[in-house]
Amino acid sequence: MLSELPIKRIPLPTPFPVGDINSYLIISDPLTIIDPGPCYQPSEDLLYRFLKESGVELKDIKRIVITHGHADHYGMAGKIQRETGAEVLVRDREVEKLELTPGYIENKRRIMLTTGISGETLDMDGLYRGDVPFTHPIDKIKTYSGDCLLGFDNFEIRLLHTPGHSGGHTSLFWEEMGVLFSGDLLLPEITAIALIEYDPREKNLRCRSLAHMLKSMELVGAINPSLCLPGHGDPVSGPAALARSRIDFHKVRLDEIYSIVPMGRENAADPCSLSRVYYPNVKDLDIILAVIEVVAHLDYLADEGRIEEYIDEKGVSLFYRRLQ
Ligand SMILES: [Zn+2]
């Protein structure tokens, strides 16, 4: 159980629809915080108060580990680093999300345009203009790749690459104790979205985020932790069953999305219009998330050979089912 481990869960409020985010403090040497939450006053106040009440001084934080480059998880990292000099650790693949390099924003935008969504719609979402509120610049980022070990005084925690929700998403596995910090890979109350990104090897292609996510879920089944400490929501015991149910959920969704793909090349449709069929009531900017969800499944279906894809003269993907 969590209370027997040198781990504190700190649920922090966020200004985002997802609600609270869990920050975790590992009370060992070096004192480490996983996902310090957004740079948002109520969250910051609560974090500092929690540390104080736990008898921890802010200056004692030596290391900040970020599971992935989303503002609700990493926003405070730069501020804490400025105040403490703590090391900020991020998987190499996620760094551009934290630094918001112009190339990154450009690629993010370009890859979304392959779904048939309009540039005007993307412009309404600050994320596609490089505007990421509730974050603080991070002066110095230390990167890593692969599945490396995070050393503590008398134990080690493995940094597992678990892509899907984000290309460089990391889960932390304390094998000896059977504890998995799952970030946004596995959440008890919601199914994390497989966000599309460009393929780092071929920037004009979408990376296969759903395939990556299902593989990451399989990994949870294979390592079979006894306790999962997610990025949002309560701890989950025996998370392999939850991972299995998430895989099953996507299998059903794959069949549903397959059923709305038109028959015949002449009727081929882009992911944006298919998302309006799959989510007929979607409003405003939620269309962006709807398109992402649908295209991630379409790519998976195309890779399985169940549907066909071709790219039109504007670079937009069109999908169809072969006539029998
Ligand atoms: Zn996230």
Convert the pLDDT of each residue in 9-43 to its tens digit.
999 999 999 999 999 999 999 999 999 999 999 99
pLDDT value, residue 196: 92
CB-CB contact of 184 with 165 (8 Å): yes
**Gap from CA of 14 to ligand 1 centroid (Å):** 12
Cα(68) to centroid of ligand 1, in Å? 7
What separation in Å is there between the alpha carbon of 324 and the centre of ligand 1?
40
Domain residue limits, the chain: 2-260
Q: Please identify every stretch of the chain with a pLDDT value under 50, giving residue numbers as ranges.
A: none
Distance 265 CA to ligand 1 centre (A): 36
Ligand 1 centroid to residue 115 C-alpha, Å: 21
CA 314 to ligand 1 center in whole angstroms = 30
Structural element, H or E, at residue 191: none
CA 70 – ligand 1 centroid, Å: 5
Distance of CA 107 from the midpoint of ligand 1 (Å):
19
Task: Name the residue among 162, 159, 163 with its Cα closest to residue 144.
Answer: 159
Residues ≥6 apart with Cβ < 8 Å to 245: none
C-alpha to C-alpha distances, 215 to 36, 165, 198, 244, nearest whole angstrom: 27, 12, 18, 11
Report how far ligand 1's centroid is from the alpha carbon of 19 (Å): 12
pTM for this model (two decimals)? 0.96
* Amino acid, single-letter form, for residue 55: G
CA end-to-end distance (rounded Å), the chain:
55
Q: Where are the beta strands (DSSP E) in 132-263?
A: 141-144, 149-151, 156-161, 170-174, 179-183, 198-199, 202-206, 227-230, 236-237
164-218 pLDDT, tens digit per residue, is 999 999 999 999 999 999 999 999 999 999 999 998 888 889 999 999 999 999 9
What is the distance in A from the centroid of ligand 1 to the CA of 310?
30
Count of Cβ atoms closer than 10 Å to residue 120 Cβ: 7
- Joined together, the tokens standing for residue 297 give 């499944």
- Token pair 């599971």 is found at 67
pLDDT for 69 equals: 97
| CA gap 136, 72 in Å, rounded | 12
Q: Kindly give the distance from the C-alpha atom of residue 71 to the centroid of ligand 1, in angstroms, as a whole number.
A: 8
What is the residue-averaged pLDDT of the chain? 96
Rounded CA gap, 105 and 30, in Å? Answer: 34
Report the topology of domain 2-260. Answer: Metallo-beta-lactamase; Chain A (3.60.15)
